[in-house]
Structure 1
Amino acid sequence: MESPLIREALLLEQGIQALSDLLGPEWHVTPRPNKSKVFDAALEVKADGDSAFTQLLVEATQAVPPRFVMERLVPKVQLLREVNHYTNLLVIAPWISSQARELLRQNGIAYLDLTGNVGIRVSRPAIIIHTVGAEKAPRSAPRETSRTTLAGPKAGRLVRLLAEVRPPHRATDLHVASGLSFPYVSRLLDTLEDQLLIRRNGRIITDVDWVQLLRARAQETSLLSHGSYRGVLAPNGVPALLQQMPQLSMQYVDGLSVTGSYAAQRFVQVAVGGQLMLYVAPWLDANDVVDELGLLPVADGADVLLLNEPDAFVRTGAEFVDGVQYVAPSQAVLDCLAGPGRMPAEGEALLDFMEQRPKEWRRATQNSGKPRSVQH
């Protein structure tokens, strides 16, 4: 197993080589003696035939969570600018998230990751490089500070609670309301704090950036992962199917919930129609659902997708509208953002609606998420 020093040296070597390749053969990237113990390396960058050069002080790190940017890197670059306006800070890492990259740009800190995310802007000599690499962390990239991520059904429960219920929160209350183990809740909250998605005062969560939290969760999931759904055709069309669903027996009415485009269209209208996506509860058999609704199995051209319900929590906060169950707005946003085609745009539109009218969907307590009935 490689030691931290070896990993850092390899990361520096790969980062310097990547920077040299981006600049091209007419530029020289030369390591210089590093007199400071605050930074990992010092580089001189200079073009052929130009006496001007810039110095880049390098921070090489295996992970760049947003909290690390704000608490470690920003104070460093502020101190650096007080000493020398012509020296710049460059962060090199295996991978840098979109949120961390945005914070680095806002604070004038250059960055380069090994997947191709690069943002470097130097005034003299003039260097402007902006490239986009991986939006998701490669499997080979080290996880940020904690191994607990926003992937998986358990994380979905906690994200929904944090988004839907107004703070303050305590970890013990979230543990009880979610049904998740207290150690897991604590680890995930640590991850969210590192990503600046929550803020705590002692043990109390005082603020939740629920918009970015929902986006971050969606980035870790895929609504239509392999084997998670079945495509079928409604012979009389989706509107007729929605009118038919309330006439089913109670086990089907309770076990089928609309998500995706049709759930978003209750609140916003980006486009009309789309595929009807139905979560199928585990007590229902998909073949029985197909028979009960008179659906036709098809290889292509499905207008109805039957999704395997990953967790009963997706029905928390659901509403019955004219006898049909629709997932809560926060669940619809997550599914749209993690869906194909135009669905992410529908998710963003729904997020805008939720930002403008939070009182219509956010709750004051963690115990009021049972499905309710709405008649139109």
Structure 2
Amino acid sequence: MESPLIREAHLLEQGIQALNGLLGPEWQVTQRPNKSKAFDALLEVRAEGDSAFTQLLVEATSAVPPRFVMERLVPRVQLLREVNHYTNLLVIAPWVSSQARALLKLHNIAYLDLTGNVDIRVSRPAIIIRTVGAEKAPRSAPRETSRTTLAGAKAGRLVRLLADVPPPHRAIDLHRVSGLSLPYVSRLLDTLEDQLLIRRKGRIITDVDWAQLLRARAQETSLLSHGSYRGFLAPNGVPDLLQQIPRLSQVYGANGPVSEGVSVTGSYAAQRFVQVAVGGQLMLYVGPWLDVDDVADELGLLPVTDGADVLLLNEPDSSVRQRSEFVDGVQYVAPSQAALDCLAGPGRLPAEGEALLEFMEHWPDLWRASKNGGKARPVQH
């Protein structure tokens, strides 16, 4: 197993090679003796035949969680600029998340990751490099802080709880309400704190950046993952189908009737609150106690491989129905679940998810839990 120093040296070597490739043969990148123990390397960058050069102090790190940016890099770069205004900081990592990239750019810290996410801006000599790489962490990239990530059904359950219920929270309370193990909840909260998605004072969660939390969760999942759904055609159209859903026969299973096991998500759930576009595919979660073919038969749907206007999705976890609401006999997922599903979906869905998030930020009292248990209500435009 490689030691941290060997991994760091290998990462630095790969980063320098990538920088050389981006600059081209007319530029020279030279590693100079590094007198600063606060950084991993000192690079001198100059164009051939030009006396002007810039120095880049390099932080080579296996992971760049946002908390690391704000608590470690920003104070150091501020001190660096007080001493030497012309020396720049460059972060080299296997992968840098979109949230960390935004923070680095905000504080004028250059970054280069091995998937191709690069932002380097130097005034003299004039260097501007901006390329886009992977939006999701490659499997080979080290995980930030721990192996507990926002992927998986368990994480989705905790994300919904944190988004829907305003703080303060304690880990023990989240464990009791969610039914998740306390060690798992604690590990995931540590990850969320490193990503600046929650803030804590002692053991109390005092703030949740629920919009960024939903975006981060969406980046770790896919609404239409392989084998998670099947496509159908509604012979009389989606509007007619919506009228048919309340008439589903009340066939009771282990966990409830058919009508409680079918819930609308995606575009039609978002369109209760915002109107980005009209129509779209009708996406229905189907509870695990129901058979998809039986539901399709009850609704008169025809199976198709292309051109589906109805998708029946396997419900990944009961949390997708938390705080859902029946409207005219049709169950719709809560706004937070609809936003999450849209952000994790294909085509125009992410744009609808962002529009729904904007609505939710303006009207939090209409969808977040309150002491009197109020639920979201559509705003009449």
Same fold (TM over 0.5): yes
SS in 1 for 2:273: coil
CA distance in 2, matches of 1:105, 1:45: 20
Partner of 1:285: 291
Of residues 346, 349, 359, the one that matches 1:353 is 359
The answer to whether the Cα contact below 8 Å between 1:111 and 1:118 also exists between their aligned partners in 2 is yes
The answer to whether the Cα contact below 8 Å between 1:164 and 1:361 also exists between their aligned partners in 2 is yes
CA RMSD across the alignment:
1.6
The answer to whether the Cα contact below 8 Å between 1:318 and 1:372 also exists between their aligned partners in 2 is no
After superposition, what is the alpha-carbon deviation per residue over 1:273-331, rounded to whole angstroms, capped at 9, x for unaligned?
A: 11100000011101111111111111211111000000011001000000000000000
Partner of 2:280: 274
The answer to whether the Cα contact below 8 Å between 1:319 and 1:373 also exists between their aligned partners in 2 is no
CA distance in 2, matches of 1:357, 1:215: 18
CA distance in 1, matches of 2:316, 2:346: 18
CA distance in 2, matches of 1:254, 1:53: 67
Equivalent AA in structure 2 for residue 266 of structure 1: R
CA distance in 2, matches of 1:104, 1:372: 36
Partner of 1:304: 310
The answer to whether the Cα contact below 8 Å between 2:366 and 2:377 also exists between their aligned partners in 1 is no
Q: Does 1:227 align with 2:245?
A: no
Q: Does 1:257 align with 2:263?
A: yes
The answer to whether the Cα contact below 8 Å between 2:366 and 2:376 also exists between their aligned partners in 1 is no
Partner of 1:217: 217
Partner of 1:362: 368
The answer to whether the Cα contact below 8 Å between 2:15 and 2:114 also exists between their aligned partners in 1 is yes
Partner of 1:21: 21
**Normalization by structure 1: what TM-score?**
0.97
Partner of 1:77: 77
SS in 2 for 1:119: strand
Using the TM superposition, give the Cα deviation of residue 249 of structure 1 relative to its aligned residue in structure 2, in angstroms. 2.2
CA distance in 1, matches of 2:2, 2:209: 37
After superposition, what is the alpha-carbon deviation per residue over 1:202-239, rounded to whole angstroms, capped at 9, x for unaligned?
A: 00011111110000000111000000001011111111
SS in 1 for 2:2: coil
After superposition, what is the alpha-carbon deviation per residue over 1:171-192, rounded to whole angstroms, capped at 9, x for unaligned?
A: 1111111110000000000000
SS in 2 for 1:78: helix
Using the TM superposition, give the Cα deviation of residue 373 of structure 1 relative to its aligned residue in structure 2, in angstroms. 11
SS in 2 for 1:13: helix
Identity %: 83
Equivalent AA in structure 2 for residue 121 of structure 1: R
Equivalent AA in structure 2 for residue 182 of structure 1: L
Unaligned runs of 5+ in 1: none
1:114-193, aligned counterparts within 5 Å? 114-193=114-193
Q: 1:224 to 1:266 in 2, by over 3 A?
A: same
Unaligned runs of 5+ in 2: 251-256
CA distance in 1, matches of 2:90, 2:305: 51
The answer to whether the Cα contact below 8 Å between 1:58 and 1:92 also exists between their aligned partners in 2 is yes
**Normalization by structure 2: what TM-score?**
0.96
CA distance in 2, matches of 1:201, 1:55: 39
CA distance in 2, matches of 1:10, 1:299: 47
CA distance in 2, matches of 1:146, 1:258: 34
Q: 1:316 to 1:54 in 2, by over 3 A?
A: same
The answer to whether the Cα contact below 8 Å between 1:320 and 1:373 also exists between their aligned partners in 2 is no
CA distance in 2, matches of 1:21, 1:294: 58
Using the TM superposition, give the Cα deviation of residue 140 of structure 1 relative to its aligned residue in structure 2, in angstroms. 0.4
Using the TM superposition, give the Cα deviation of residue 364 of structure 1 relative to its aligned residue in structure 2, in angstroms. 3.0
Aligned residues: 373
Partner of 2:253: none
Using the TM superposition, give the Cα deviation of residue 368 of structure 1 relative to its aligned residue in structure 2, in angstroms. 4.9
CA distance in 2, matches of 1:245, 1:87: 64
The answer to whether the Cα contact below 8 Å between 2:367 and 2:376 also exists between their aligned partners in 1 is no
Runs of 4+ in 1 over 6 A off after TM superposition: 371-374
After superposition, what is the alpha-carbon deviation per residue over 1:19-61, rounded to whole angstroms, capped at 9, x for unaligned?
A: 0110010100000001111110001001111111111110000
CA distance in 1, matches of 2:377, 2:358: 25
Partner of 1:58: 58
